[in-house]
Structure 1
C-alpha cells in the first residue's frame, strides 16, 4: 500500500485578487509562484503562493470570484488552515507584524497541542500559526526576497481543521482508506497524521451538528493531499471507487495530475501528484511574474486576458 506523505495544497475563494495578492505577498511574505486561471472557468484568476518554488505542502491557492457573497459558517466544511513557523519567538514576531498591518488576530495560545496564534485574512479566512519545532516539509526552500526574515518565514502547511457531523465516518476514511494514524481522540475532536509524529500531514477533525456551511469569500474549497506520481494516483483512484465514493477520474492540471472525490460528510478532497511542478513552464527566478496558461488554453490567451483585471503590485 502506498502512503500519503502529507498535504499538497489547499484552495480557497477570494473576492479580490488585489487584496489577496497584497496580503499573502507583502504581509505573510510568501512567494507568489503562479498566476494562472481556473482551468474549469478561465474567466477567474487562480493564484498560488508558497515557498521559493511552490513546493507541494507549501501551496495556498485562491480562486478570485469578485461577485461572491459572505461565508455562512456551519458544519461539514474545512474550517481552518495551520501554517508552520519555526519557533515561539516567531509567534512574537508575527504578533507584532499583525498589529503593524492591522491584521485580525488572537493571543498567543495553543492549538492541536502546539504553541499557536489564530488570525484571519482580508476575506475572513480562518488561519492559525503553529510552532513547527523543526518539523516542516523537507524540500521547503527559503524565499530570499521575502519581506519576512528567514528565521520567521512560514514553512508550509501544518494542521488542517475540518468540522463535520459524522466524525467516525471521516475517521474511517482517513485511517482505513488512506492509512492515517489517529493520534488523539476526545468526544468532540480527533487528530490524524499521514506520517505519525509529523504535523505537515495533520488533520484535526471536530464534531459539530447543525446546518452545513454555505461557502463564500474566505471559505475553503478543498484540501489536496500528496502522492508521488501518476502510478500512485491510479492506485488511489481505484481505492476511492472501491470505497463507494465517486471519483472525478484522473485530471491533467499540467502542473500536476489529480483526482477529486467527496467523502461521506461532503468534504471535497483532491489527490495530487508532486510533479511536474511550477517550473515546467517558467524559470525559478521569474515564477509568478506573468499570467501562465496550460497549453490547452494558450490559444485562448487574448480572450482570457481581456476578461481579467490586472493585478496591482503595491
Structure 2
C-alpha cells in the first residue's frame, strides 16, 4: 500500500524577494537552496529555503509578486506553518532571538499537544516553532553548517500545517479516504490528521471557520505539497485522486521533482511531489542557491528572463 511519508514543501507569496531572503536565511537560519523562477510565469522569482540540500520535508518556497497587496485573512486557506526545533530549550532560545531581532512573536504556548512558539514573518505570514522533543527526523535531512543559528537550536524541517476551512467534514474525507491520513483528534470545530503516526512532520490541523474566503496577498500560502517517494507512486496517487472525483493536472515534470496538483472541495490546493531528483540536479551542494538556475526548457530564454528580474543579492 502506498503511504505518504510527510510534507514535501509549502509555497507562499512574497512582495519583496530581498526582504524575504534576509528573513529566512539570516534570521531563521534556513539555507536558500534554489534561486529559480516560476515555471508557469518566468517573470517572477521562485525561491526555496531548507536544509543543506533542500531535502523533501524541509522546503519553504516563495513566489515573488512585487504588485501583491495585503492578505485579507479568512477561511478556506492554509493559515499557519509549523517548523520543528529540537527541544524546549530551543523555543526559549528562539524567543530571545526574536526579541533581539524584533520579530513579531507570542509567548510559548501549547499547540496540537506540543510546546510551541508562534511568530510572523515581515509580511504577516503566520508560522509556529514546534518542540520536536528530541524525536528522530528523516535520515536524509542534513543541517546547513552556514546557518547563523546556534547548532543546538536550528530549525529541523516542516511540522504541523494548519488549514482553515468552511466545511471540516469535506476536508476530513479528502485526507482520510483519498490520501490515507489518520484522524488522531476531533472536536466540534477542529481535527488533527497524521500521515506518519505520532509525527508532526506529516501532520495537518484542520479548523472549521465560517465567513468569507481569505483574499490572498503578500504573506499568504499558495499550496501545500505532500511527499511522494517516486514517480511510480505519483502515478498511483494521480489515479486515486481522479477516481475520487477531483480534477488532477496529471503528472508535471518540474525538473527538480515531478508533481501533480488538485483542489479539494473547500478550494485548498494540494500538490503531490516526488523526492527526487532534487536541487542538486543542476548544481553542486556547495553552489546551491547562489546563481539563477533554470530548468532546461527555459535555458534558451535565460537572457530575457534575467533582464526582467531585479537582482536579489546586490
CA RMSD, Structure 1 to Structure 2 (Å): 0.7
* Deviation, structure 1 residue 150: 1.4
Whether contact under 8 Å (1:2, 1:232) holds in the other structure is: yes
TM-score in terms of structure 1 length: 0.99
Matched residue, 2:119: 119
Matched residue, 2:152: 151
Q: Deviations over 1:36-68 (max 9, x none)?
A: 000000000000000000000000000000100
SS at structure 2 position matched to 1:107: coil
Q: Deviations over 1:114-138 (max 9, x none)?
A: 1101000011000000000133333
Whether contact under 8 Å (1:85, 1:132) holds in the other structure is: yes
Find the aligned partners of 2:46 and 2:84 in 1 and give their Cα distance: 23
Find the aligned partners of 2:91 and 2:198 in 1 and give their Cα distance: 22
Find the aligned partners of 2:69 and 2:228 in 1 and give their Cα distance: 34
SS at structure 1 position matched to 2:5: coil
Matched residue, 2:6: 6
Matched residue, 2:302: 301
Matched residue, 1:76: 76
Whether contact under 8 Å (1:137, 1:155) holds in the other structure is: no
Equivalent positions of 1:46-125 (< 5 A) are 46-125=46-125
Matched residue, 2:216: 215
Q: Deviations over 1:216-255 (max 9, x none)?
A: 0000000000111111111111111101011011100000
SS at structure 2 position matched to 1:110: strand
SS at structure 2 position matched to 1:244: coil
1:177 aligns with 2:178: yes
Find the aligned partners of 1:150 and 1:177 in 2 and give their Cα distance: 39
Whether contact under 8 Å (1:137, 1:200) holds in the other structure is: no
Work out the number of aligned pairs and report it: 313
Where has structure 1 moved over 4 Å in runs of 4 or more? none
1:253 aligns with 2:217: no
Find the aligned partners of 2:79 and 2:284 in 1 and give their Cα distance: 34
- Which consecutive unaligned segments of at least 5 residues does structure 2 have? none
- Which consecutive unaligned segments of at least 5 residues does structure 1 have? none
SS at structure 2 position matched to 1:29: coil
TM-score in terms of structure 2 length: 0.99
Find the aligned partners of 1:298 and 1:25 in 2 and give their Cα distance: 27
Find the aligned partners of 1:142 and 1:68 in 2 and give their Cα distance: 33
Find the aligned partners of 1:41 and 1:94 in 2 and give their Cα distance: 36
